[in-house]
Amino acid sequence: VSRADAGVRVWALPGLPEIAPGDDLAALLAAARGAPFGPGEVLVIAHKVVSKAEGRVVSLDEVEPSPRALELAAQLGKEDPRHVEVVLRETAEIVRAQRGVLISRTRHGFVCANAGVDASNAGEGRLVLLPLDPDASARRLRASLPGRPAVVIADSFGRAWRHGQCDVAIAIAGLAAMDDWRGRSDSFGRELHATCIAIADEAAAAADLARAGKDAREPAVVVEGLGRHVVEDDGPGAAALVRAREEDLFG
Amino acid sequence: VSRADAGVRVWALPGLPEIAPGDDLAALLAAARGAPFGPGEVLVIAHKVVSKAEGRVVSLDEVEPSPRALELAAQLGKEDPRHVEVVLRETAEIVRAQRGVLISRTRHGFVCANAGVDASNAGEGRLVLLPLDPDASARRLRASLPGRPAVVIADSFGRAWRHGQCDVAIAIAGLAAMDDWRGRSDSFGRELHATCIAIADEAAAAADLARAGKDAREPAVVVEGLGRHVVEDDGPGAAALVRAREEDLFG
């Protein structure tokens, strides 16, 4: 028995060029797709290319570290206090600063290492920031893409008690953030109390599996088979996934 | 351009019956597959059917709540102190007990709600526990399945700062837990410092997307296209994903 046709298919869009500030990302994605996106398709795109297209890139040359950045860099053993300065500018609240690791709550409410500021694949002497308003970026992309696919913007986040990183959704347009089974019944008719599946995060994780690797420049991935979670309205975005600070269950 | 053939395909195995203690799960999975698993295939299976086959089911009738369970149940507003008693028996350390939620570190080192003890799809008056040694369960399944696919046992875990649950790997046999890029270079030749992708967790998340729903009894999912992460040896299992208590970055 094979039901490969009925399941979920995930594949990377080939041929996307290196993205620079000001590039028309939607046009480049449309060209890479070659045909309109199909109904029910979800485009998952690494935040880094969105940030680059939007000019959310900082040259370390132009950064003057504050006393606080110098102090934190020394405390954490970070080589470049200018990098720490950029992280602090993107940070609403420092969640942890210990053992060489700086965990921030960003202005969007995401809790992640270095406030999402990343030097990898940024180019020499440059840092890539998270988009200013990722959900707005996702909505703009969706509106501009032929076939109007659902759009998820993804980043790799660490986890509190587990090694390794998983891609999660930092922005969503047109896909349900969650599939909420609370109040529905299980297969024995018993009410399910706490089952709320983070569909968009699982789609981001699935998309990451289809990338050949971090050095392979395959930032855009198509996920097919999630049509029942795709919605006409853009929806509340990844903002719906952020727990309010006072609701933290684990942190 | 379509590269659906080159990507990752995820599909649920149809026709698996309700599992009872003592059932030969490997034989039932082999029958549901209908042909030997292909090379490079990963079988992702919900822990609940593994636990049921192994008899890791408790009848509430036979549980006498301890004073501590009675106290915690009252404090958290839990209806059934016997349920809390079972959670405490599966708990190595209580991480949080507040606002109606009990977060435990299990004996395996997993941090999750209710120590993984679950009443949904368990049957009236019964609770399903996590397997005693999930990695050993995965290795046994792998050895017994025709074609010897990699095996991941999955459960749905909540996250510290995000709403909703994602499936993660609580056991692995024959799949790399992580794809470790530390020390390798990005596309600009810059060394990547902290990129270590939790492949098995992403596979568990992808598999969850292919289930029709919590009430649809599709606990077994095949993931194709991860052959480069499949290994001949069973490997260290999901134990490799557990951060030591003193290494917690966020918690």
pLDDT (tens digit per residue) in A101-129: 899 999 999 999 999 999 887 788 999 99
CA distances B246 to A47, A78, B31, B159, Å, are: 31, 21, 44, 19
- What mean pLDDT do residues A190-216 have? 82
How much of chain A, in percent, has pLDDT values that exceed 70?
A: 89
Q: Is B208 within 8 Å of A188 when comparing Cβ atoms?
A: no
Considering only CB atoms, which chain B residues are within 8 Å of A198?
Answer: 159, 162-166
pLDDT band of A2, cuts 50, 70, 90: very low
Q: What is the mean pLDDT of residues B184-213?
A: 80
Average pLDDT over residues B149-167: 95
Using CB atoms, which residue from A187, A196, A213 is nearest to B215? A187
* Test the B interface: residue of A118, A159, A222 with most B CBs within 10 Å: A159
Of the residues B95, B99, B161, the best mutation for testing chain A's interface (the one with the most A CB atoms within 10 Å of its CB) is: B161
**Are the Cβ atoms of B111 and A161 closer than 8 angstroms?**
yes
User: In which band, very low, low, confident or very high, does the pLDDT at B3 lie, cut at 50, 70 and 90?
Assistant: very low
Please give the pLDDT value at position B213: 60
**pTM of the complete model:** 0.94
Among A42-56, B98-112, B125-139, B221-235, the minimum mean pLDDT is found in B98-112
CA distance B36 to chain A (A): 10
Out of B168, B198, B217, name the one closest to residue A165 (CB). Answer: B198
Q: Is 60 exceeded by the pLDDT of residue B89?
A: yes
Tell me whether residues B249 and A158 touch, CB distance under 8 A: yes
Interface test with A, best of B80, B209, B217, B223 (most A CBs within 10 A): B209
* Predicted-complex ipTM score: 0.94
Pairing of strands A179-180, A42-46: unpaired
Q: Which of B160, B240, B249 sits opposite A250 (nearest CB)?
A: B160
Predicted local distance difference test score (pLDDT) of residue A119: 86
List chain B residues with CB under 8 Å of A2.
11
Least confident of A247-251, B83-87, B240-244: A247-251
Query: In this structure, what token pair is assigned to residue B188?
Result: 């600009």
Collapsed DSSP state (helix, strand, coil) of residue B17: coil
Q: How far is CA A140 from CA A144, A149, A229, in A?
A: 6, 12, 20
- Beta carbons of A242 and B111 less than 8 Å apart: no
The mean per-residue pLDDT over the stretch B193-216 comes to 84
Q: What is the mean pLDDT of residues B72-94?
A: 95
| List of chain A residues whose C-beta atoms are within 8 Å of the C-beta of residue B195 | 120, 156, 165, 214
pLDDT at B189 over 70: no
Transcribe B39-61 into DSSP letters: TT-EEEEEHHHHHHHTT-EEEGG
Dihedral angle sign, alpha carbons of residues A235, A190, B51, B37: negative
d(CA A105, CA A88): 10
Residue A1 pLDDT grade (very low, low, confident, very high; cuts 50, 70, 90): very low
pLDDT of residue B124: 85
For chain B, the average pLDDT equals 90
